[in-house]
Amino acid sequence: MAKPCVFCAIVAGEAEAHVVLDEPDLLGFLDTRPVLRGHVLLVPREHHETLPDLPAALRDPFLDAAQRLAVAVKDGLGAQGSFVAMNNTVSQSVPHLHCHVVPRTKGDGLRGFFWPRTRYADGEAAEHAARLREVLVPPAG
């Protein structure tokens, strides 16, 4: 039997959360283990595991809510900016799509990205770009 989804429990009101955004299709709440104080998780109310699983009708509302949360952490918490990110499967601690909106201020102690950086060998960037273009699905419509 699959492990119950903690985010679905929060959406259903079966688990506690400090709700920041409460809309018909989306819920935003504070992360219980924040990267920095004010770290918000945005989730669709329906269970969708990853970004590719998100229905087209929810894409714009989801991004709109993430944008509004990015503004809210600045205006409400005095942050200078934000870090907005989501994982898909790898490093996704809860298998329910969620977008992290983390308030950022210069000197807050968060150093760049959470993973090591690398460089492309000669010609490798062009090859990777071409491979991605080859399989990229065009916009609908």
> What CATH number should be reported for the domain holding residue 54?
3.30.428.10
Residue 116 belongs to a domain: yes
Query: Running DSSP on this structure, what letter comes out for residue 85?
Result: E
Phi, psi of 20 (to 5 degrees): -110, -40
**pLDDT greater than 60 at residue 1:** no
Average pLDDT estimate for 91-114: 88
Q: What is the pLDDT of residue 139?
A: 67
- Ordered strands of the 26-30 beta sheet: 19-22, 26-30, 40-44, 99-104, 81-85
Predicted confidence band of residue 114 (pLDDT cuts 50, 70, 90):
low
Measured CA distances, 46 to 1, 5, 27, 116, 128 (Å): 20, 11, 10, 33, 34
Residue 54 belongs to a domain: yes
Q: What 3-state DSSP class applies to 19? A: strand
Range of the domain at 123: 7-135
Question: For the chain, how many structural domains are there in total?
Answer: 1
Assess contact for 29 and 41: CB atoms under 8 A: yes
Token output for 70: 């990015």
Average pLDDT estimate for 41-68: 96
The proportion of the chain whose per-residue pLDDT surpasses 70, expressed as a percent, equals 92
Residue 140 belongs to a domain: no
Residue 131 belongs to a domain: yes
Residue 2 belongs to a domain: no
**pLDDT greater than 70 at residue 6:** yes
Average pLDDT estimate for 6-32: 95
pTM for the predicted model, two decimal places: 0.86
Predicted confidence band of residue 24 (pLDDT cuts 50, 70, 90):
very high
Residue 125 belongs to a domain: yes
Average pLDDT estimate for 122-132: 83
